[in-house]
Amino acid sequence: MWFEYFVSNRIMHNKERSFSRLIMGIARVAIALSLSVMLISTSLVNGFRATISEKVYGFWGHINIAKQSLRNSFDDIPIYRQQEFINEVDSIPGVTGIQIYARKAAIIKTKTAMEGVILKGIGSDFNWDGFNKYIIDGHGIDLTKDEASRGTLLSKTTAERLDYHVGDSVLVHIIDQKENGDYQQMFRKLRIDGIYNTGLSEFDQLFMLVDIRHIQRLNNWNADQIGGYEVFIDDPDRLDELEHEVHKAADPFWDVQTIKEIIPSVFDWLNLQKVNEWIILVLMFMVALINMVTSLLILILERTNMIGILKAMGANNTAIRRIFLLNASNIIVRGMLWGNIIGIGLCFLQQQFGLIKLPEESYYVSVAPVQLDWVWILMLNLGTFLVSIIFLIIPSLFVSSIRPIKAIRFN
C-alpha cells in the first residue's frame, strides 16, 4: 500500500501545469459547492420544520381533546373537567403538560372598523413558558386572582388593523342564540395587557386570548365546564403513539386529535419542504459524482504512459487502480473540507445575524431559520465520501484495458 500512496502523492503534488490539474481543481470546487448546498438546504428545511412546528404546538399543544373537532365550530360544546383524567394523562411517559381552554366567537367594533375574532379562554395552567416568546409588547394575563381578569392578549395583526395599543380598552360584542331561538347581544369590556405575534396568519388574524372564566359566564357554564384540553409532549416524533395513549385514557365520547389532523395544511407545506430537500440532495449528489467520474477518467487518460510503465515494471491492475482512487479520495476530502467550511459557516452567519429576510405572511417567519443537526451533517459527509468512492471504482476499471506496449508509446 505504501507504493500506491507514494505514487499518488507524487501525482497530487506535481507542480507542472497540466489539463488534469485544472480538472482536479474544478472537481474540488464541484464537491465543495455540492456539499455546502446540501448542508445549507438541510439546515434551512430543519429550521423551518422546527420553528413553525414549535409555533403551532406552542399555540395549540400537540394533542387536542374536545367534544367535537376544532374544525367543526368556533363555539365549543362543554365537557366537565375531570381531575382523575388529568392525573392519568400527566402520568403518561412523554407528556409534559395539559391545559384547559374554551372558545367563543365575537366581534370587536370601533368607530371606524369592525373585526371578527375568536375569544380563546385560557386558565391558570396555561403554558406561558412556551408562549411568552411571541409577546412583542406588554405582558401576559394575570390569571391568579379570584375574579376573572379583564386583561386580554391581542394579535399584532388585529391591533394594527384596529389601531389598538397596550393599555387600551376594547369592547367585545358577543351575539348568542337563546333556547327559544331568539338572539341576544352581550358585551365585555377588556383591557389589552399584551400584543402577540406568532407569524402564523391562520391564528393571528383570528384569536384573542382572554380569561376562561369570561367564556364560562357568557355560556352560562359552571366552573367545572370547559371547551377542551390541550396536551403537550416532549417528542413530536412520538405524536401518533402518545395520541393513542391519551385516547385510551380519555372519555370515549370525547374527540381526541393531533394538531396535524386539525390543521393539516401547515404540516403538508412543511412535508413538501422535506421533498424539496431530497430533490436538492439528489441533484447535488449527481453533480458531484459526474464531476468526479469525469475528472478521474481524464486523470487516467493523461497518465496512460505512466500506467504502461508501471505495468511493465510489474505493477498489477489492482495496485494501479488504488493509486487513482487514492488520488480521487484526496480530491474528495479537500473538496468536502471546503464544503463544510462554506456551508456551516454560512449557516452560523445566518443564525447570528439573520442575513436572509422573508415575508412573514408567506413563510410564517420573518428571518430564514437555520438548525444545524450535527448527526445529520456527519451522515451527509460520510454518505458523500462513500458514494463517491463506490461510483469511482467503475471508471478506475478502465486501467485494466490499458496494454503496456501501447501505453508506453502513447503520447
Do 245 and 273 lie in one domain? The reply is no
The predicted pLDDT at position 253 comes to 85
Residues 345 and 299 in one domain: yes
pLDDT at residue number 372: 92
| Residue 72, pLDDT score | 54
Would you say residue 59 lies in a domain?
Answer: no
> How confident is the model at residue 242, as a pLDDT?
95
Residue 84 pLDDT > 80: yes
Same domain, 187 and 161: yes
Q: Which residue has the higher pLDDT, 293 or 307?
A: 293
Looking at the structure, do residues 169 and 273 belong to the same domain, yes or no? no
Closest listed residue to residue 295, CA positions, set 16, 10, 5, 22 = 22
Q: Does the residue 243 lie in any domain?
A: yes
> In the 3-class helix/strand/coil scheme, how is the chain assigned residue by residue?
CHHHHHHHHHHHCCCCCCHHHHHHHHHHHHHHHHHHHHHHHHHHHHHHHHHHHHHHHHHHCCEEEECCCCCCCCCCCCEECCHHHHHHHHCCCCEEEEEEEEEEEEEEECCCCEEEEEEEEECCCCCHHHHHHHEEEECCCCCCCCCCCCEEEEEHHHHHHHCCCCCCEEEEEEEEECCCCCEEEEEEEEEEEEEECCCCHHHHCCEEEEEHHHHHHHCCCCCCEECEEEEEECCHHHHHHHHHHHHHHCCCCCEEEEHHHHCHHHHHHHHHHHHHHHHHHHHHHHHHHHHHHHHHHHHHHHCHHHHHHHHHCCCCHHHHHHHHHHHHHHHHHHHHHHHHHHHHHHHHHHHHHCCCECCHHHHCCCECCCCCCHHHHHHHHHHHHHHHHHHHHHHHHHHHHCCHHHHHHCC
Instruction: State whether 112 and 206 are in the same domain.
Output: yes
> β-pairing, 95-109 with 255-258?
unpaired
Mean pLDDT of 312-333: 82
In this prediction, residues 369-383 reach a mean pLDDT of 93
**Is residue 99 a contact partner of residue 158, using CB atoms and an 8 Å limit?**
no
pLDDT at 406: 66
Q: Which of the listed residues 196, 229, 253 is the one where a domain comes to its end?
A: 253
In the chain, % of residues over pLDDT 90: 45
State how far the Cα of 335 lies from the Cα of 321, in Å rounded to an integer.
21
Reduce the secondary structure of 242-255 to three states and give it as a string: HHHHHHHHCCCCCE
- Beta strand 114-122 with 207-211 is parallel
Distance in angstroms (rounded) separating the CA atoms of residues 242 and 237: 10
pLDDT of amino acid 19: 67
230 occurs within a structural domain? yes
> Confidence band (pLDDT; 50, 70, 90) for 301?
confident
- Same-domain check for residues 275 and 343: yes
Asked which of 185, 218, 253 is the last residue of a domain, the reply is 253
**pLDDT band of 327, cuts 50, 70, 90:** confident
- Whether 111 and 212 share a structural domain: yes
Q: Are residues 16 and 89 in the same domain?
A: no
Give yes or no for residue 246 having a pLDDT over 60: yes
Asked if 222 contacts 132 with a C-beta cutoff of 8 angstroms, the reply is no
How many structural domains is the chain composed of? 2
Domain interval for residue 33 = 2-54+267-409
Q: Are residues 163 and 245 in the same domain?
A: yes
Q: How many CA atoms lie within 13 A of 280 on its CB side?
A: 20
Does one domain contain both 385 and 282? yes
User: pLDDT-based confidence at 405, cuts 50/70/90?
Assistant: low
- Residue 274 forms part of a structural domain: yes
Distance CA 12, CA 142 (A): 70
Query: Given the DSSP bridges, would you call strands 151-155 and 228-233 parallel, antiparallel or unpaired?
Result: unpaired
Find cell 375569544 and name the residue: 119
Residue 310 pLDDT class (50, 70, 90 cuts): confident
When pLDDT is averaged across residues 212-234 and rounded to a whole number, the result is 93
Are both 276 and 371 inside the same structural domain? yes
Q: Render pLDDT for 171-213 as a digit per residue (tens, 0 to 9).
A: 999 887 666 667 788 888 999 999 999 988 878 888 999 999 9
Residue 260 lies in a domain: no
User: Does residue 230 surpass a pLDDT of 90?
Assistant: yes
What average pLDDT is seen over the chain?
A: 86
Amino acid 104: pLDDT: 92
Residue 148 lies in a domain: yes
362 pLDDT band, cuts 50/70/90, is confident
The model's pTM: 0.82
| Domain shared by 102 and 153, yes or no | yes
Please report the pLDDT score of residue 118 as a whole number: 93
Residue 63 lies in a domain: no
- Who contacts 37 (Cβ-Cβ below 8 Å, separation ≥6)? 280, 284, 343
Which three cell numbers, joined as nine digits, stand for 23? Answer: 480538472
pLDDT in tens, 30-82: 899 999 999 999 999 999 989 988 888 988 899 999 987 655 567 788 999 98
Q: What is the structure's pLDDT at 411? A: 53
| Bridge partner residues of 255 (DSSP) | 66
Confidence of residue 281 (pLDDT cuts 50, 70, 90): confident
**Of 253, 283, 301, at which residue does a domain stop?**
253
Q: Give residue 128's pLDDT band: very low, low, confident or very high (50, 70, 90).
A: very high
Residue 356 lies in a domain: yes
